[in-house]
Structure 1
Amino acid sequence: MIGQLCNTNTFVEFVSTGPNLSILFRSRSHFPSQGFKATFMFQDESEFGGNLDGPSIVPPCQQWIKSDTSKNDSFTTPGYPKPYPANFHCVYHFTARGRERIQILFSDFNLYIPSEDIKDCAGPVDAVMVFITINGQKERLNNFCGNVLPPQLMSNGPSMSVEFKSYQTPSNLRGFRAIYRFVTNFGITAGEQDPQQVCGFIFNSTKRTNGTFTSPNYPGLYPRATECHYFFYGRKSERLTLMFAYFDVEGVSPCTTDLASDFVEFSNFRTVDRKIPRYCGGKKPKIIESDGDFFRVAFKSNSKFDGTGFEAFYQFRNYVDPLTVKRISGIERLAPWKIDMIPVLMMFALILIVP
């Protein structure tokens, strides 16, 4: 599975991993709806990765970086590590396939900035701008300038672009160097990836009883418009305990969609468990324990804001029914001769009941 859509979406793009693509439509609700309309296009591999709408400008340097060509490498300002030229515009286009996402990590960053008071790197200042596609529109993810290393970034879909602009300002600075990766695991290295989910990971106590798991692209900014699920399977005698070491998920309590909130949600079942509230904002959830041997954690981000996400510790523990402990404790408080008489009394009770 490379993608999944429900509710309301517009202009969402998918790129197949090969010459074939299968689309399944499933209706489960009790109410009808309008459905969907989509367009498709077969594109030769030699043309794959171009801008279908055509660039509005043709900058002096333009690079197309496709996952078919290289899964990971680096890209830099012109002439790096020598000083970059003035009055220059360079665009780096990244195109992935399937459920691949583009991950960018800056390893060096040093651009000319006339004043430290410049906010949001706006105005005529040397800067790097990162763009993603939301609902078919090119949206700016963020601007970066000066010498502060940008956070690790990730696309929300199969395309992403990075633009570098310099102005007629004196500069003896080297610019930037960044590493790119086309990843299918959303930057999540824990657990086993579920092939039936776009972003799903399975944690089984038979393989590991404790460990950590994170939001996508952690410790960088999590991608927008992304949903990930974490499934925990324990033995029948086990329960799951979760403890969050870090939590930064954009949103306002009660973390609902109408409040434009990203959120983390928990469930003892495969569907939503309403007794456990959603969590968002900067306050870490308290220690969470499952009611049974199965537990699910869901992370969902919208298309408006982003944050660093979360890091959590999980542990499967043997479960002892407190009622059983209480009964055993009550028996242990009996006199020794009374404890010895328990099997005899039980047998006598069976004799009375069984004809």
Structure 2
Amino acid sequence: MDVYAEVQSSDPAELINSPFGGRYCGPIPPRRRISLYRAIALSFYTDKNSTTPDIFEGRYAFINESEYEIGQPVIGSPCSYVINFAQKRTGAIISPTYPGAYPKDMSCTYQFIGKPNQRVRIEFRDFDLFFGGPHCPFDYVRVYD
């Protein structure tokens, strides 16, 4: 099964231009997927010579995208935000498709701006990035203070 989770257009002809989200086979189901935009597409293929009675089963739900709007969006980026103390004093920060698998080749920024004499506290409650070695050569979160 092929998954396209970054589909920007609901036109099926545009699917070919969407980033490929992953190919899955075997008995282990893929992690939860949440679309980056308003559409997601699955392609299912079988070998005509062999099939089994139980192929796959899953669930879907349409969820409100406001859950993923963390602050003021940065124009030109699907996942960068400026969070200003005057608009929101507390809240949650989440990766673009949390708790599902995250898209490939993403660069997101979250900039927190407080007033004078304020500090910003950040606490991670769930953290599962690909570990490529002790120096994090692939996926990482970088914090600037």
Whether 2:142 is the aligned partner of 1:262: answer no
TM-score between the two structures when normalised by the length of structure 2: 0.66
**Letter of the structure 1 residue corresponding to residue 103 of structure 2:** P
Distance in 2 (alpha carbons) for counterparts of 1:168 and 1:197: 44
More strand as a share of residues = 1
**Alignment of 1:165 onto 2:46:** yes
- Aligned pair 1:95/2:37, yes or no? no
In angstroms, what is the RMSD of aligned CA positions? 4.0
Residue 243 of structure 1 is matched in structure 2 by 123
- Relative distance call for 1:66 and 1:189 in structure 2 (3 A) is closer
Cα distance in 2 for residues equivalent to 1:198 and 1:242 = 22
Report deviation, 1:224.
Answer: 0.9
Which has more radius of gyration?
1
Structure 1 position 142 matched with structure 2 position 62: no
8 Å contact kept, 2:68–2:94: yes
Deviation at 1:212, TM superposition (A): 1.1
TM-score normalised by L of structure 1 = 0.31
* 1:67 counterpart residue number: 9
- Aligned to 1:245, the other structure's residue is in SS state coil
Deviation readout 1:51-76 (Å, 9 max, x if unpaired):
xxxxxxxxxxxxxx98244xxxxxxx
Write the letter of the residue equivalent to 1:202. Answer: V
**How much does 1:188 deviate?**
3.0
Number of corresponding residues: 134
CA deviations 1:226-273 (Å, max 9, x no partner) are 111111111112110111111111132222xxx4x21110113xxxxx
Partner letter of residue 192 of structure 1?
Answer: Q
The one of 78, 85, 104 equivalent to 1:224 is 104
- Ranked by relative contact order (alpha carbons within 8 Å, sequence separation 6 or more), the top structure is 2
Corresponding residue of 2:4: none
Distance across 2 between alignment mates of 1:267 and 1:169? 52
Q: Which amino acid aligns with 1:95?
A: L
* Matching of residue 233 in structure 1 with residue 110 in structure 2: no
Residue 163 of structure 1, CA deviation: 3.0
Q: Residue 170 and residue 267 in structure 1: after superposition, are their counterparts in 2 closer, same or farther (change >3 A)? A: closer
**Runs of 4+ more than 4 Å apart:** 177-181
Q: Percent identity?
A: 20
1:51 aligns with: none
Cα drift, residue 145 of structure 1: 4.0
Partner Cα separation in structure 2 for residue 195 and residue 177 of structure 1: 35
- For 1:266 and 1:208, locate their aligned partners in 2 and report how far apart those are by CA, in whole Å: 20
Q: Tell me if structure 1 keeps the 8 A contact 2:34–2:99.
A: no
State the Cα deviation string for residues 1-22 of structure 1 (Å, max 9, x = none).
xxxxxxxxxxxxxxxxxxxxxx
- Residue 168 of structure 1 aligns with an amino acid whose one-letter code is S
User: Given the superposition, is the C-alpha separation of residues 233 and 179 from structure 1 closer, same or farther in structure 2, using an over 3 Å criterion?
Assistant: same
Change (3 A) 1:93 1:174: farther
Displacement of 1:195 in angstroms is 1.4
Mapped contact 1:202–1:230 kept (Cα < 8 A):
yes
Distance 1:93 1:221 in 2: 25
CA distance in 2, matches of 1:229, 1:160: 27
In structure 2, C-alpha distance between the alignment counterparts of 1:243 and 1:198, rounded to whole Å: 23
